[in-house]
């Protein structure tokens, strides 16, 4: 294998660890979600980083559910997380773990720490414990039970486990250093009482380990070599190392490495806030196409490739920053430009009667499926006497710069003919209801043999064979680029009232008939769209994934 040229500081550290002969040349990472919500694009970055990094070094990655808090965790979330990781294209093979798999071992290790005089029971309230912790510049105050005997602590810990104590009456703390400059080292909590059934262990436990106590040990027992996590855990690292140091029975140690989390403009990424959007009905569900969740992006028409590319492009750093959502949109455009089948769809139909076209006759014109990929071939598109164009492609009194259809003007219908508008038909209120045009039969395919030019090419759908469909247009969910960043205002105040626009009366060419949910298309001139699972036999529903160009900065 060629030597790996590191692309970021994490790869650099792994290269160094391998060069130093650590971990018998193993590279083993894990993705450790807490099953308390659906995964979002930030998690996707972490997934790509963990699975991508191990793969680069010929290593492996575990999926581990960090299910130490029974109160907020649900099987629904476990299932969705597995689906999303797989969909992104990653495979944990047989290495599916739960922190709850280690509840027995964690308990035994806690007993061991108590016996070594390195953990004790504290009966004080949370408030008192916090108060006694002090501040980074003021040392903490010892708990009255800090020096109680291992026998005493052990007896109480067993009683805690046996449910002899009520919630909130006592906790188990590690006995480390009440004057450490790192607040996390000032006798952190290891266990608390929670009389709640757990999604996997049921009623077996009423004491549950804290995240900090469970995480490093889980890494250790699984043989994780590089425990990649987000920056807020940097200050927890000495504690992570302390527990592992107490636990270790070999030279092997997992190494925690922190990177900055992904933030994206015009959305929120906290699970609590995403849950609130769902529970309070601001969006339809977790997979609403406006959500930054992986299932939302999937439903919106994003592909796994586009998300993996995005994760690559944002890179890995230690600097907190905000990524413009335009970069994510760029990635899906790039991908779909290569892959998406082109079709024509008219979203705001204006009827055209081609007066010189034979009655009751139809024909087919040939269209290119994807100009970026010859292998995708060509298709036949029906053409008939009545067709539809976009209402905005016609102006009765055109301004100087309007080159599309207008009275007396000629345009090209893509892949079909030149047409000229001769008459505008209106209803009693003066609304335009249809146009009467003539076509030039000599221009079949879209070119005039006499070499005359037209300034505009329009997409269209012929009435013959047209399928009626609904098109859902999405805009940013929030009007502010940083809805979370206002001290005096709640993020909900920035919800965009126009984030969803439904166009219920659209026509699309018959080619899309039978397309399976989530299939991607480019609607010529309009953008990339995909088939929504809400589609029925009578009406296909499309989501606009993204427009053809970035219009957001206009």
- Residues known to be catalytic: 34, 261, 271
| Cα-Cα end-to-end distance for the chain | 48
The DSSP call for residue 156 is H
Least Å distance, CB 44 to ligand ATP, is 8
Contact region for ligand ATP (CB under 6 A) — 28-36, 90-98, 141-149, 309-317? 28-36
Question: Residues 343, 331: contact at Cβ < 8 Å?
Answer: no
Find the part of the chain contacting ligand ATP (CB under 6 A) among 27-35, 162-170, 296-304, 388-396. 27-35
Which residue stretch of 33-41, 213-221, 274-282, 465-473 sits at the interface with ligand ATP (rule: CB under 6 A)? 33-41
45 binds ligand ATP (CB under 6 A): yes
Nearer Cβ to ligand ATP, position 33 or 465? Answer: 33
């000629």: which residue's tokens? Answer: 410
Nearer to ligand ATP by Cβ, of 85 and 174: the residue is 85
Residue 508, classified by CB atoms within 10 Å of its CB into exposed (0-12), middle (13-18) or buried (19+), is: buried
Provide, rounded to whole angstroms, the least separation between the CB of residue 105 and ligand ATP. 21
Under the criterion CB under 6 A, does residue 269 sit at the interface with ligand ATP?
yes
Instruction: Output 159 or 320, the one with its CB closest to ligand ATP.
Output: 320
- Residue 42 as a binder of ligand ATP (CB under 6 A): the answer is yes
Q: How far is the C-alpha of 42 from the C-alpha of 24, rounded, in Å?
A: 32
Task: Please classify residue 151 by burial: count the beta carbons closer than 10 Å to its beta carbon, then call 0-12 exposed, 13-18 middle and 19+ buried.
Answer: exposed
Q: Please report whether residue 33 would count as binding ligand ATP according to CB under 6 A.
A: yes
Q: Which residues of 324-348 are buried (b: 16+ CB within 10 A; e: fewer)?
A: ebeebbbbbbebbeebbbbbbbbbe
Closer to ligand ATP at the Cβ: 296 or 349?
296
Residue 339 lies near ligand ATP (rule: CB under 6 A)? no
Tell which one of 26, 43, 161, 409 touches ligand ATP (CB under 6 A): 43
Exposed (0-12), middle (13-18) or buried (19+): which is 442, by Cβ within 10 Å?
exposed
Residue 198 per-residue DSSP state: B
Is residue 284 near ligand ATP by the rule CB under 6 A?
Answer: no
Q: How many residues bind ligand ATP (CB under 6 A)?
A: 14
Q: Using the rule CB under 6 A, which residue among 11, 14, 32, 225 binds ligand ATP?
A: 32
- The single residue among 175, 186, 226, 271 that binds ligand ATP, judged by CB under 6 A, is 271
| Segment interacting with ligand ATP (CB under 6 A) among 42-50, 144-152, 216-224, 422-430 | 42-50
Cβ proximity to ligand ATP: between 184 and 414 the closer is: 184
Site for ligand ATP contains 352 (CB under 6 A): no
Report CA torsion sign: 148, 153, 155, 160: positive
Closer CB to ligand ATP, 4 or 275, in the complex: 275
What dihedral do alpha carbons 411, 415, 417, 422 form, nearest 10°? Answer: -40
Tokens of 184: 């996390």
**What strands lie across the sheet with 60-65, from one edge to the other?**
28-31, 60-65, 96-98
Contact 427, 381 (CB under 8 A): no
Distance of alpha carbon 223 from alpha carbon 253, whole angstroms: 8
The reply to whether 349 sits near ligand ATP by the rule CB under 6 A is no
Nearer to ligand ATP, 85 or 540 (CB): 85
| C-alpha atoms less than 13 angstroms from C-alpha of 353 in its C-beta half-sphere | 10
Residue 36 near ligand ATP by CB under 6 A: yes
**Sites for ligand ATP among residues 226-265 (CB under 6 A):** 229-230, 261-262
Q: List the interface residues with ligand ATP, window 184-203 (CB under 6 A).
A: none
Nearest in space to 351 (alpha carbons), one of 417, 432, 405, 430: 432
In the set 11, 23, 29, 46, which binds ligand ATP (CB under 6 A)?
A: 46
Give the binding site for ligand ATP (CB under 6 A): 32-34, 36, 42-43, 45-46, 229-230, 261-262, 269, 271
């Amino acid at each position: 294998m060629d030597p790996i040229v590191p692309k970021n500081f994490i790869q650099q550290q792994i290269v160094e660890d391998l060069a130093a002969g650590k971990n018998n040349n193993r590279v083993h990472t894990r993705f450790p979600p807490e099953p308390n919500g659906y995964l979002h694009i930030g998690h996707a970055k972490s997934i790509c980083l963990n699975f991508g990094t191990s793969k680069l070094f010929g290593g492996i990655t575990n999926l581990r559910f960090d299910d130490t808090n029974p109160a907020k965790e649900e099987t629904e979330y476990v299932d969705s997380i597995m689906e999303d990781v797989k969909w992104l294209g990653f495979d944990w093979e047989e290495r599916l773990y739960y922190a709850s798999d280690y509840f027995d071992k964690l308990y035994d290790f806690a007993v061991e720490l108590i016996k070594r005089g390195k953990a004790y029971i504290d009966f004080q309230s949370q408030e008192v414990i916090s108060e006694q912790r002090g501040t980074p510049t003021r040392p903490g105050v010892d708990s009255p039970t800090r020096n109680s005997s291992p026998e005493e602590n052990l007896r109480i810990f067993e009683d805690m486990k046996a449910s002899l104590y009520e919630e909130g009456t006592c906790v188990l703390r590690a006995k480390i250093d009440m004057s450490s400059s790192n607040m996390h080292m000032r006798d952190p909590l290891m266990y608390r009482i929670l009389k709640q059934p757990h999604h996997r262990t049921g009623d077996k436990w009423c004491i549950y380990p804290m995240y900090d106590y469970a995480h490093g040990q889980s890494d250790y027992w699984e043989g994780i070599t590089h425990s990649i996590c987000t920056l807020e855990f940097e200050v927890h690292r000495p504690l992570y190392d302390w527990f592992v140091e107490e636990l270790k029975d070999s030279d092997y140690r997992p190494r925690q490495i922190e990177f900055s989390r992904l933030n994206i403009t015009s959305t929120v990424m906290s699970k609590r806030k995403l849950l609130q959007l769902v529970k309070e009905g601001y969006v339809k569900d977790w997979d609403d196409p406006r959500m930054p969740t992986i299932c939302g992006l999937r439903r919106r028409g994003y592909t796994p490739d586009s998300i993996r590319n995005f994760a690559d492009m944002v890179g890995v750093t230690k600097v907190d920053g905000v990524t413009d959502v335009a970069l994510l949109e760029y990635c899906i455009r790039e991908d779909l430009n290569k892959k998406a089948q082109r079709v024509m769809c008219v979203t705001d139909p204006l009827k055209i009667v081609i007066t010189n076209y034979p009655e009751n006759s139809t024909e087919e014109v040939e269209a290119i499926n994807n100009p970026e990929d010859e292998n995708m071939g060509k298709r036949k598109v029906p053409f008939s006497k009545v067709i539809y164009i976009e209402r905005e492609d016609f102006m009765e009194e055109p301004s100087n710069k309007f080159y599309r259809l207008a009275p007396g003007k000629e345009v090209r219908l893509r892949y079909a003919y030149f047409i000229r508008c001769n008459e505008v038909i209106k209803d009693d209120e003066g609304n335009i209801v249809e146009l009467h045009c003539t076509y030039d039969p000599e221009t079949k395919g879209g070119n005039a043999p006499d070499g005359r030019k037209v300034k505009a090419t329009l997409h269209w759908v012929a009435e013959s064979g047209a399928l009626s469909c609904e098109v859902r247009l999405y805009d940013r969910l929030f009007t502010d680029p940083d809805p979370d960043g206002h001290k005096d205002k709640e993020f909900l105040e920035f919800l965009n009232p126009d984030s969803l626009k439904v166009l219920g009366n659209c026509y699309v060419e018959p080619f899309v008939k039978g397309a399976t949910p989530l299939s991607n298309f480019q609607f010529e001139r309009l953008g990339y769209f995909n088939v929504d699972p809400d589609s029925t036999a009578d009406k296909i529903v499309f989501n606009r994934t993204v427009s053809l160009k970035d219009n957001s900065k206009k």
